[in-house]
Amino acid sequence: MRKGLTASQAAQRLVADGLNLLPQTDRRTTLRIALEVSREPMFALLMAGGAIYAVLGDLIEALILLGFGSFSIAVTVLQETRTEHVLEALRDLSAPRALVIRDGAMQRIAGAEVVRGDVLVLEAGDRVAADAHLLEAADLSADEALLTGESLPVGKQVVADHDEATAAMRPGGEGQSVIYSGSLITRGHGLARVVATGARTEIGRIGTSLASIDPEPARLRRETARIVRLSAAGGALVALLVVVLFGLARGSWIEAILAGITTAMTLLPEEFTVVLTVFMAMGAWRIGQARVLTRRAAAIETLGATTVLCTDKTGTLTENRMALVRLWAASTGEVRLPLSRDDLPTSSRLVEFAMLASPPKAADPMEIAILEGAQQVGVRRAPDLVLDHTYGLRPELLAMANIWRGRKGSAPVLAAKGAPEAIATLCGLDEAACTQMTAAVDRMAGEGIRVLGVASCTLPADDQRGALDDYDLTFEGLIGLADPLRAAVPDAIAQCRSAGIRVAMITGDYTVTASAIAAAAGIADGEVLTGADLEAFSSGELAHRLSQVSVFARIMPEQKLRIVEAFKAAGEIVAMTGDGVNDAPSLKAAHIGIAMGNRGTDVAREASAIVLLDDDFAAIVKTIALGRRIYDNIRKAMAFIIAVHVPIAGLTLLPLLLGKPLLFGPIHIALLEMVIDPVCALVFEAEPGEDDIMRRKPRDPGAAMFSIPMIGWSMFQGSLALALLVAVYVSAMHMGLAEAHLRGLMFFSLVAATFALILVNRSFGASLIRAVGSGNLALIGVIAAVAAVTAAILAIAPVRSFMRFDVLHVADGAIAVGIGITVLFSLELVKPRVARALGIRERADSLRPDVAGRH
């Protein structure tokens, strides 16, 4: 036995190198999340607006804003805290323990205490604690999926000169002498000397590189903050102008200040902040119901703008497990699983010997798949069979075999499996049989299927266990294994295509396998670019080729990052999926990083904005649809906000221009805000998605949310409502209505016009009947609440007096309802035509040339 380090040597190196731990990001505690949320410009402005109203003495408006701000902060903190708690539960809190040789004896220590020079004892099922060079290896294979993303294990072997042999080695290569930290031993055993620990390991270097990558900020938040600042400045300027003009014209500066406050309340866009904060918080809650966690609420909206979805293959498109999918026997030909009744007699024999060639308790993914496939076919090992001897893989003979002995008197049975050419050699197949077998192998390999040959032999009872190639084996056939495509993936890919989203597969797997999976998934036909090709391209050449490539194969971690950066440089909004440490840099660099929660690593989850708890690719499509719905509903709410403020501001300023008493004071505006704010925050947020939400192109990332066409359409709506209200106002003035009577009539007419604007803006193009029948419970609740408040105002004399209203008659109510109906039906008649002319609604049949061309 090798001596390894002494205890004192290990202690000295532990002091010099530090613990064998990867750098970890600080945990996001509830307090830290709350501080981060409260510093967001939208939340800060919402709370500041409430504080200003409180100082001005408008407690109702102050309480409304502070209430919405507190609610939004609470929901966001609760959601993100829940996400962090789930991530904490997903972390492996205990570092893997390691079996090492120290002072000439084997001892198990904490993985954090492993140091350079330690000799690791490796057995099947062990998680490797550090990067190490192999000293001894017997049929050793390791699963390096954490580093490569690929589920198939790779074989390891000892080489004489470590320095020369390992200089250019990277994870994922077959026949290497390096064993990497974080990899899992799937078969065999060996010894290895540690050469790197902690941040100096291959997995540690990838994690450390994350510090140099800045995540993308949310575009919507920046744009909304800019619009709010501009609108607030404009509103304040108009309010100041009203104070000056009112004071100079009428001489009453107290009334002038009140008029200025009222005007400011009608113009200040505090609803913008309500909309953004509540929509993002509720969006995170809604997508959480689909078992998708959002570490940053604004990420959902950005995902809705995605133009390119870069996805890993293993575990994202596929199930991340090997399965027995194909059988081929020389006598019957090729069959697919599940087997038909006619295929059972010959195929079950092939599966039986493949099972007997595998260990009873398998750790290798392919052997696990063989045992599971045998169960599905109904093949069971005879209970009296006992494993007598095993022949392991050898570099010169890529085949392994087991000898089984049954009850006394029965002949021993040898079952072998391995590379088809090795099995053909052991069976002594003639040229014709080899040609037939090779054609079958090529056919399956062309579909990305891993192929193994199977052979058998009945031994004499007194068998002396010679070398494996001394036996006269009979060729049974071929078995094909593959990582199956997830059932929901083809439909999800099709939805992405119809939504104008380009899907690009980036994998470390071989070109043939990657192409086969891409074809089965329905990823658009295009070129396959390998890591070697990518390395030879300049940035300009890569940018030119990106539009023609749909599959990237044999890609290394740093190349994934380069691909993401190239897509971003081309103006695309990039979403990237991944699970391994190798994916973390590209996850962080993408506009939206999407990590797998079930099998993802801590580093990948920490670098991402969204975590899929069920590792389901279809959940990404649901989240994209939700992101688009959120963006649509934000635009609807913003359009309503702009439209509704036109008649409010107009009726506030009109009496000033005509030299008449003010219609509305701060209390009336506050009461209107009690309708507008819940509508913006709850009614529009609860609106279902448009019918074509996943049949239209992604929005242009450079396009402004508050486009000139949208503002123009909103101003048109508000102007129509204002014109009708002004007509009523002027007519009532000519009829000599008392001030209190006129105020009540105009107030409830404005409320009716407001509800008409709500119904108009609930849908971009759907008919009124469909919009009303969409079942928005929030709208029903708001209507019921407004009806109750209206009835209270009209029925309770003290309340009516406080509002400075007179008793209204049935004719007044008819006028108010008539205003609402006229606004509603007039706008519904012109909405499809005007919206289409203004280009507000973008349909899938009008894809940008760059989007249409790549599909």
Q: Which residue has the higher pLDDT, 649 or 231?
A: 649
Alpha carbon of residue 730 to chain centroid: 56
HEC sequence for 581-617? HHHHHHHHHCCEEEEECCCCCHHHHHHCCEEECCCCH
Q: Please tell me the distance from the alpha carbon of residue 420 to that of residue 454, in angstroms, as a whole number.
A: 8
Q: Is the peptide bond before 338 cis (omega within 30 degrees of 0)?
A: yes
The tokens for 17 are 């190198």
Model pLDDT for residues 651-700, shown as the tens digit of each residue: 877 887 787 877 876 667 767 766 776 677 778 888 888 888 888 888 77
- ∠ CA 445-451-452 to the nearest 5 degrees? 160
Residue 852 pLDDT: 39
Using pLDDT thresholds of 50, 70 and 90, give the confidence band for residue 765. low
681-684 long-range contacts, Cβ below 8 Å, gap at least 24? 681/68, 681/274, 681/275, 681/278, 681/279, 682/278, 682/778, 682/781, 682/782, 683/758, 683/762, 683/776, 683/778, 683/779, 683/782, 684/275, 684/633, 684/634, 684/636, 684/637, 684/640, 684/761, 684/762
Could you say which DSSP state residue 394 is in? B
Q: Report, as an integer, the average pLDDT of 17-36.
A: 73
Model pLDDT for residues 803-835, shown as the tens digit of each residue: 888 888 899 999 999 999 999 999 988 887 766
Q: Which of 72-76, 340-344, 745-749 has the highest mean pLDDT?
A: 745-749
Single-letter code of the amino acid located at 713: W
Using pLDDT thresholds of 50, 70 and 90, give the confidence band for residue 393. confident
How high is the mean pLDDT of the chain? 80
Check whether 633 has a pLDDT greater than 50. Answer: yes
- Give percent of the chain above pLDDT 70: 77
- DSSP SS3 for 782: helix
Neighbours of 595 (CB within 10 A): 31
- Report the residue count for the chain: 855
Q: Please tell me the distance from the alpha carbon of residue 821 to that of residue 755, in angstroms, as a whole number.
A: 10
Short-list 493, 485, 486, 490, CA closest to 621? 493
- DSSP SS3 for 314: coil
The tokens for 114 are 């492993």
Could you say which DSSP state residue 397 is in? B
Which of 410-424, 672-686, 703-717, 745-759 shows the lowest mean pLDDT across its residues? 672-686
10-14 long-range contacts, Cβ below 8 Å, gap at least 24? 10/102, 10/113, 10/115, 10/117, 10/118, 13/115, 13/116, 13/117, 14/113, 14/115
Check whether 845 has a pLDDT greater than 70. Answer: no
Q: Please tell me the distance from the alpha carbon of residue 80 to that of residue 87, in angstroms, as a whole number.
A: 10
- From residue 390, alpha-carbon distances to 155, 356, 359, 404 in Å are 18, 11, 9, 9
Short-list 325, 331, 382, CA closest to 352? 382
Q: Which residue has the higher pLDDT, 814 or 217?
A: 814
Residue 846 pLDDT: 35
Residue 853 pLDDT: 41
Check whether 45 has a pLDDT greater than 70. Answer: no
Model pLDDT for residues 75-118, shown as the tens digit of each residue: 667 756 665 655 454 444 334 688 999 988 899 898 889 999 99
Model pLDDT for residues 347-387, shown as the tens digit of each residue: 788 999 999 999 988 878 899 999 998 988 888 888 888 99
Whether the CB-CB separation of 401 and 298 falls below 8 Å is answered with no
Whether the CB-CB separation of 132 and 192 falls below 8 Å is answered with yes
Half-sphere exposure of 373 (CA within 13 A, CB side): 33
Q: Which residue has the higher pLDDT, 244 or 434?
A: 434
Short-list 631, 743, 647, CA closest to 685? 631
Angle between helices 666-678 and 777-795 (to 10 degrees): 160
Using pLDDT thresholds of 50, 70 and 90, give the confidence band for residue 191. very high
Residue 91 pLDDT: 45
Q: Please tell me the distance from the alpha carbon of residue 312 to that of residue 578, in angstroms, as a whole number.
A: 6
Dmax over CA atoms of the chain, in Å, equals 122
Q: Please tell me the distance from the alpha carbon of residue 750 to that of residue 747, in angstroms, as a whole number.
A: 5
Q: Please tell me the distance from the alpha carbon of residue 646 to that of residue 643, in angstroms, as a whole number.
A: 6
Residue 465, burial from CB neighbour count under 10 angstroms (0-12, 13-18, 19+): middle
Residue 446 pLDDT: 84
Whether the CB-CB separation of 819 and 753 falls below 8 Å is answered with yes
The tokens for 574 are 């990039």
Residue 498, burial from CB neighbour count under 10 angstroms (0-12, 13-18, 19+): middle
Which of 266-270, 625-629, 670-674 shows the lowest mean pLDDT across its residues? 266-270
Model pLDDT for residues 548-604, shown as the tens digit of each residue: 899 999 887 778 889 999 999 888 899 998 776 767 788 888 888 888 776 666 667
Model pLDDT for residues 58-68, shown as the tens digit of each residue: 676 677 667 76
